[in-house]
Amino acid sequence: MKKEAIQSRIQKLRTLIDVHRVKYYTNDAPEISDEAYDTLVRELEILEQAHPEFADSTSPTQKVGATVLEKFIKVKHEILQWSYDNVFGYDELLAWEEKIVRFIEKEDISIRNIPREYVAELKIDGMKIILTYEHGKLVLGATRGDGVVGEDITHAVSVMPDIPKDLGRDISLVVIGEAWMKKSDLQKLNIRRQKEDKPLFANTRNATAGSLRQLDASITRDRNIQTFMYSIEKLTGDDLEIPDSQKETLVLLKKFGFSVNDIFVHTPHVKEIQEFYNGWVSKRDKEEYSIDGIVIKIDSRKISQALGYTAKAPRFGVAYKFPAEEVTTIVEDIAIQVGRTGALTPVAHLRPVVVAGSTVSRATLHNQDEIDRLGVRIGDTVIIRKAGDVIPEVVRALTELREGGEKPFHMPTHCPVCGNTVVQGQTSTDDKTVAFFCTNKKCFAQEVERMIHFVSKKGMNIVGMGDKIVEKFITEGLISSYADIYELKAGDIVGLEKFGEKSADNLIESIAQSREVSLAKFLYALGIHHVGEETAELIAKYISETYNNPSYDEFVHLWKKITKESLENIEGIGPTVADSFVVYIADADHQEQLSRLESQIAFVYESSTFPQTVSGKTFVLTGTLATISRDEAKNRIKQMGGSVASSVSKKTSYVVVGDEPGSKYDDAVKLNISILDEKAFLDLLS
Ligand code: ZN
């Protein structure tokens, strides 16, 4: 990048970060996620370090926390309130340790002789509070504010049940901890706020801050805020003093009557800290509190005091955040992908970036409406999100960072693969989104995608027949219809795509094994528009019940009798799906393809040995369940006679709500559908 471009980028980043800083810290109403915010700050830090000539003392990288709201009494902190520097990854953690070792080596013998040990605690995503006690009585509760001046929230902390008001001993004490809200309490609070037409809280951190920064303490009381205290900043009287280790500090805090999180590790080995971290990356959603990482501190107070502070942060501790699920990067191009239904999907080609622990270079943009909604252009800085197994998506374009050379994107008028004219159509009758389609059924891109879907794990599950192989077989003219797959011989493929005799035999064997399949998987494998896994299950259940577990050959003769009306009567199936299914059946090409599979495919039906306690009930699942995976939950429901639908309708019997539920949860509230939490759900199935 040119100097001017770098300077411009630095300035734009500073302005943007300041805007979001106020929303985040001062107003407790962030517009972008903490993680995306952190990535912007990180980019700015890196640029500033590489280009000290653009340094500026007013840069947001030089500030701590928030400005104090006018409505509160200001509190000047007795002890300056710092926040820890961050490390991003094991290498940086090791580098931090190395710095400490070097520092200690320069100290006198009394420090050098203390064993170097660490305490790593969970980093609770709530709000920092500072409590002051005089003669054992709670006299002040304060927010961190900008580190120098905080807000007086004594009235609010006074109504919180797990904060002792009287320690029962004559001591002066200043303690620090984190106030937090249970995820389940946030859910309840947001339901209530929705009914009252009030804005919802984005996360437990904001809800906690919003609940404590209230002039009316009765609001705080109703919100059931919890605390974990973790640090003693001052302690005099009663022959007591601040313990010499962080571990003992936690013990003493507990003895005083404070809530303390018992989960931490105490170790001389950084490697064990990394293991603790790794363990919590996968367990992070299981606790009632939100965790966004861990905090590592030198256990010895003497060493900590000797290490002291840099201009910005303590040297004796660092924060180690979990891999971000939202980060910022740059859209380098927008390309078109043609799917198996012919739908043209714009895909953002990104500057590679690590998100949720893996490098990502593509993100779907869904359709032109989505591009318009996001306002994203080629060259834009964007926030992308990747959570769990979901494919990465663009959530926001940071238009404030534009330099002027960004290019708008328009859908092409012709299919980029076959050149056929592109037509506009709705993806479904209830979803008004306009999509663009290549209507050429012989379009190579569609053929490949359809075939890849057919052989995929959730479909016919032909092991070893990957995307590249499918594409090669189609180009070579080996397969064009599903039946062609089952007519393949080892000799046809030896020599193709690195196939030797053994690997060719293996593939033919796994093709043979895929012949036995459930009706539901087969219906899913066909890739009928709108017929996903769950819908395929529902239709399969209907067919097997109505036609008494038909064989494949029986199925090929009876399926033309299935009407739109009969499908619409199935709970969980709407007119769009029913329509799409009968349109597929009516197509002569499809009929011919399926007829050719006669005597190739054998349907297998499972007989149920479970009590059919939820027979006829339809479930919708949303959010993460703590003790059972999504797939297990679905299986249990199906085993016991119930069915699972992907969206909430009036016909839904129950909506099962886990952690961080999606819009289905809101739909359930709107339609007044019975809501089950995890415990109630498991009780029902037990
Ligand atoms: Zn095409």
| Mean pLDDT value of segment 647-672 | 87
Predicted pLDDT of residue 563? 92
Q: Is the pLDDT score of 428 beyond 70?
A: no
Alpha carbon of 422 to ligand 1 centroid (Å):
8
Q: Find the catalytic residue in 12, 63, 74, 123.
A: 123
- Inside any domain, residue 69: no
Beta partners for residue 74, in sequence order = 151
Q: Is the pLDDT score of 429 beyond 60?
A: no
The Cα–Cα gap between 400 and 15 comes to 9
- Inside any domain, residue 472: yes
What is the DSSP pairing of strand 291-298 with strand 317-321? Answer: antiparallel
Is 255 tagged catalytic? no
Q: Is the pLDDT score of 357 beyond 80?
A: no
Label residue 475 by pLDDT band (50, 70, 90). Answer: confident
Ion ligand 1 — residues with CB < 5 Å: 415, 417-418, 420, 438, 440, 443
Domain boundary among 514, 530, 549: 514
Predicted pLDDT of residue 655? 92
Label residue 112 by pLDDT band (50, 70, 90). Answer: confident
Label residue 68 by pLDDT band (50, 70, 90). Answer: low
Predicted pLDDT of residue 525? 96
How far, in Å, are 91, 92, 261, 613, 621 from residue 98 at the CA level? 10, 10, 28, 61, 48
Alpha carbon of 144 to ligand 1 centroid (Å):
59
Alpha carbon of 535 to ligand 1 centroid (Å):
27
Count of the separate structural domains present in the chain = 6
Q: Are residues 108 and 218 in the same domain?
A: yes
Q: Are residues 251 and 263 in the same domain?
A: yes
Alpha carbon of 414 to ligand 1 centroid (Å):
8
Length of the chain: 686
Lowest mean pLDDT, pick from 284-288, 339-343, 501-505: 339-343
The Cα–Cα gap between 325 and 44 comes to 19
The Cα–Cα gap between 196 and 199 comes to 9
Lowest mean pLDDT, pick from 290-304, 456-470, 565-579, 607-621: 607-621
- Inside any domain, residue 76: no
Range of the domain at 190: 86-321
CATH of residue 447: 1.10.150.20
Predicted pLDDT of residue 500? 84
Alpha carbon of 447 to ligand 1 centroid (Å):
9
Spell out the residues 6+ positions from residue 520 whose beta carbon is closer than 8 angstroms to its own: 533, 536, 537, 539, 540, 541
Q: How far is CA 533 from the centre of its chain?
A: 22
Q: Are residues 596 and 455 in the same domain?
A: no
Q: Are residues 237 and 301 in the same domain?
A: yes
Question: What type of residue is 462?
Answer: I
CATH of residue 628: 3.40.50.10190
292 membership: H or E segment, kind and range: strand 291-298
Q: Are residues 501 and 526 in the same domain?
A: no
Domain boundary among 384, 409, 437: 437
Q: Hey, is 351 helix, strand or coil?
A: strand
Q: Is the pLDDT score of 608 beyond 70?
A: no
| Mean pLDDT value of segment 358-375 | 87
| Mean pLDDT value of segment 610-623 | 84
Q: Which two tokens stand for residue 517?
A: 């399949």
Q: What is the mean pLDDT of the chain?
A: 88
Q: Are residues 107 and 175 in the same domain?
A: yes
Q: Which two tokens stand for residue 54?
A: 């653009």
Q: Is the pLDDT score of 382 beyond 70?
A: yes
| Mean pLDDT value of segment 314-318 | 94
Beta partners for residue 421, in sequence order = 414
Predicted pLDDT of residue 374? 93
Q: With the CA atoms of 343, 344, 350 and 353 taken in that order, what torsion angle do they form, in degrees rounded to the nearest 10?
A: 0
Q: Is the pLDDT score of 431 beyond 60?
A: no
- Report DSSP state, residue 95: H
CATH of residue 213: 3.30.470.30
Predicted pLDDT of residue 624? 87
| Mean pLDDT value of segment 21-25 | 78
Predicted pLDDT of residue 267? 95
Predicted pLDDT of residue 607? 66
Inter-residue contact 201 to 186 (CB < 8 Å): yes
Q: What percent of the chain has pLDDT over 90?
A: 47
| Mean pLDDT value of segment 377-402 | 88
Spell out the residues 6+ positions from residue 174 whose beta carbon is closer than 8 angstroms to its own: 78, 79, 130, 131, 132, 133, 232, 233, 234, 235
The Cα–Cα gap between 262 and 24 comes to 29
CATH of residue 374: 2.40.50.140
Q: Are residues 109 and 18 in the same domain?
A: no
Alpha carbon of 421 to ligand 1 centroid (Å):
8
Helix 575-586 vs helix 588-595: crossing angle, to nearest 10: 70
Q: Are residues 633 and 661 in the same domain?
A: yes
- Inside any domain, residue 626: yes
Predicted pLDDT of residue 634? 85
Q: Are residues 645 and 681 in the same domain?
A: yes
Predicted pLDDT of residue 182? 94
The Cα–Cα gap between 591 and 430 comes to 27
Alpha carbon of 438 to ligand 1 centroid (Å):
5
Alpha carbon of 336 to ligand 1 centroid (Å):
11
Q: Is the pLDDT score of 430 beyond 60?
A: no
Q: What percent of the chain has pLDDT over 70?
A: 96
- Report DSSP state, residue 284: G
CATH of residue 28: 1.10.287.610
Q: Which CB contacts under 8 angstroms, 24+ apart, belong to 359-363?
A: 360/384, 360/386, 360/392, 362/392, 363/391, 363/392, 363/393, 363/394
Predicted pLDDT of residue 402? 94
Q: Which two tokens stand for residue 160?
A: 């919180």
Predicted pLDDT of residue 666? 86
The Cα–Cα gap between 355 and 195 comes to 35
Q: Are residues 155 and 254 in the same domain?
A: yes
Pick 276 or 389 by higher pLDDT: 276
Predicted pLDDT of residue 639? 76
Domain boundary among 407, 437, 467: 437
The Cα–Cα gap between 668 and 317 comes to 45
pLDDT in tens, 113-133: 899 999 999 999 999 999 999
| Mean pLDDT value of segment 503-525 | 93
- Inside any domain, residue 80: no
Predicted pLDDT of residue 684? 86
The Cα–Cα gap between 560 and 585 comes to 6
Q: Are residues 117 and 177 in the same domain?
A: yes
Inter-residue contact 517 to 528 (CB < 8 Å): no
Q: With the CA atoms of 223, 228, 234 and 238 taken in that order, what torsion angle do they form, in degrees rounded to the nearest 10?
A: 100
Nearest 5°: the CA angle 436, 439, 441 is: 140
- Inside any domain, residue 609: no
pLDDT in tens, 122-179: 999 999 999 999 999 999 999 998 888 999 999 999 999 899 999 999 999 999 999 9
Spell out the residues 6+ positions from residue 27 whose beta carbon is closer than 8 angstroms to its own: none
Predicted pLDDT of residue 162? 92
Label residue 220 by pLDDT band (50, 70, 90). Answer: confident
- Inside any domain, residue 106: yes
- Inside any domain, residue 16: yes
Beta partners for residue 627, in sequence order = none
pLDDT in tens, 538-566: 999 999 888 888 889 889 988 888 999 99
Predicted pLDDT of residue 282? 80
Q: Are residues 92 and 49 in the same domain?
A: no
| Mean pLDDT value of segment 196-216 | 86
Alpha carbon of 303 to ligand 1 centroid (Å):
68
